[in-house]
């Protein structure tokens, strides 16, 4: 399940935070477990190529742990954590940009700028998108879903995917493009009509 959302009404999270602030470091595990999925989801879509999402997520948790005294109990912990994560991501992207040939070798500059622009969207949007995406994946026919499984779950090479499906590598690439596009449209449509999944 990737649907757990963090909200300021989550009393178990607040209890854990209070416990950590009282010296029970072990209770921070509750914080990490509850927040890591939304945080990684947000980072995954905001981070440009070359950024290690798990590394930035871990750094964000460590920074949050170190500054936990600054968090005001009863307010929105997720928002506070995402503010830290945004700063951590910015730091990492700045580091990458200083690599001389980063733009040439890894990421077109415009992609970075657009990602940065979108990072101002509310972080919880990505979790909602993720939930809708799971629903959209469930609607895909098996003949299409297998491409997603091969590419993302099994991570098999494109030429093997081509051999398995009896198509050319170029056709497989095109198929993946269409699938991503179709899933994006599905998610957008669900966002427009349903809003946040129940």
Partner 1 sequence: MNTDKRFIELWNDYLEGELDESGIAELQALVARDERLLQMAVDSYQMHRLLGLIAQDSVSRQDAFVRETLARLPADDARFVHGVMQHIPQGTPRKGMTARRLLTKWPFAVAAAAVVVSIASVGFWRPKAEPEIVRITELNGAVQWTGGGGQVVADLHVGSSLPGGTVESLSADSWTDLKFRDGSTVTVSGQSVLTISERQQKELHLRTGNLSANIVPQPDGKPLLIHTPTARLEVLGTQLNVEAEPASTMLSVNRGRVRVTRLADGSVAEVPAAHQVVASIDRGAELKVIPRPRPVTTWQSDLPTDGLYGTWLPKPGDSKGSLRNAPMLWGCPEKPVTLYLVSLSVSRNRPAPVLLTAGGKFRIRGRIESAGTVYFGLTTIRVNGGFAGKFLVERRFDVVQETGESLDIELRLEDFRPQEQELAEKSPEKFPASPVGLELFDWWCCTVNEDAGLEITHVELDTGISEPNIPSDG
DSSP 16-63: HHHHHHTT-GGGHHHHHHHHHHHHHHHHHHHSPTT--HHHHHHHHHHH
Q: Round to whole Å and give the CA distance between 37 and 60.
A: 13
Structural contact between residues 151 and 177, judged by C-beta atoms closer than 8 angstroms: no
Take residue 101 and report the two structure tokens written for it: 């040939």
Asked whether position 126 contacts partner 1 by CB under 8 A, the answer is: yes
Among the listed residues 91, 177, 189, 194, the single contact to partner 1 using CB under 8 A: 177
Residue 40: C-alpha distances to residues 60, 63, 66, 88, 168 (Å): 10, 15, 20, 13, 34
Report 30-59 residues binding partner 1 (CB under 8 A): 30, 32-33, 36-37, 40-41, 44-45, 47, 54, 57-58
Among the listed residues 9, 11, 100, 198, the single contact to partner 1 using CB under 8 A: 11
Asked whether position 162 contacts partner 1 by CB under 8 A, the answer is: no
Look at residue 106 and give its three-state secondary structure: coil
Q: Which stretch binds partner 1 (CB under 8 A): 81-89, 90-98, 100-108, 189-197?
A: 100-108
Among the listed residues 65, 95, 160, 163, the single contact to partner 1 using CB under 8 A: 65
Asked whether position 167 contacts partner 1 by CB under 8 A, the answer is: no
Residue 121 beta carbon to partner 1: minimum distance, rounded to whole angstroms: 11
Residues whose CB is less than 8 angstroms from the CB of residue 168 and which lie 6 or more positions away in sequence, other chains included: 162
Asked whether position 148 contacts partner 1 by CB under 8 A, the answer is: yes
Take residue 111 and report the two structure tokens written for it: 């992609």
Structural contact between residues 182 and 151, judged by C-beta atoms closer than 8 angstroms: no
| Cβ proximity to partner 1, 80 vs 129, nearer residue | 129
Q: Which residues bind partner 1 (CB under 8 A)?
A: 2, 11-12, 14-16, 18-19, 22-30, 32-33, 36-37, 40-41, 44-45, 47, 54, 57-58, 61-62, 65-66, 101, 103-106, 108-111, 114-115, 118, 126, 129-130, 133-134, 137, 148-149, 151-153, 158, 170, 173-174, 176-177, 180-181, 183-184, 187
């Amino acid at each position: 399940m990737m649907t757990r959302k963090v909200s300021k009404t989550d009393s178990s999270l607040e209890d854990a935070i209070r416990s950590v602030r009282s010296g029970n470091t072990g209770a921070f595990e509750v914080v990490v477990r509850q927040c890591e999925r939304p945080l990684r989801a947000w980072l995954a879509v905001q981070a440009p190529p070359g950024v290690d999402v798990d590394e930035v997520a871990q750094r964000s948790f460590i920074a949050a742990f170190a500054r936990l005294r600054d968090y005001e109990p009863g307010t929105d912990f997720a928002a506070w954590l995402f503010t830290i994560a945004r700063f951590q991501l910015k730091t990492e992207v700045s580091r990458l940009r200083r690599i001389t040939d980063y733009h040439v070798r890894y990421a077109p500059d415009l992609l970075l700028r657009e990602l940065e622009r979108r990072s101002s969207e509310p972080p919880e949007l990505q979790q909602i998108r993720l939930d809708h995406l799971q629903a959209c994946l469930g609607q895909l026919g098996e003949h299409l879903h297998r491409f997603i499984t091969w590419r993302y779950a099994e991570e098999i090479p494109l030429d093997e995917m081509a051999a398995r499906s009896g198509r050319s590598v170029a056709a497989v690439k095109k198929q993946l493009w269409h699938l991503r596009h179709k899933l994006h449209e599905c998610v957008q449509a669900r966002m427009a009509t349903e809003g946040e999944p129940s």
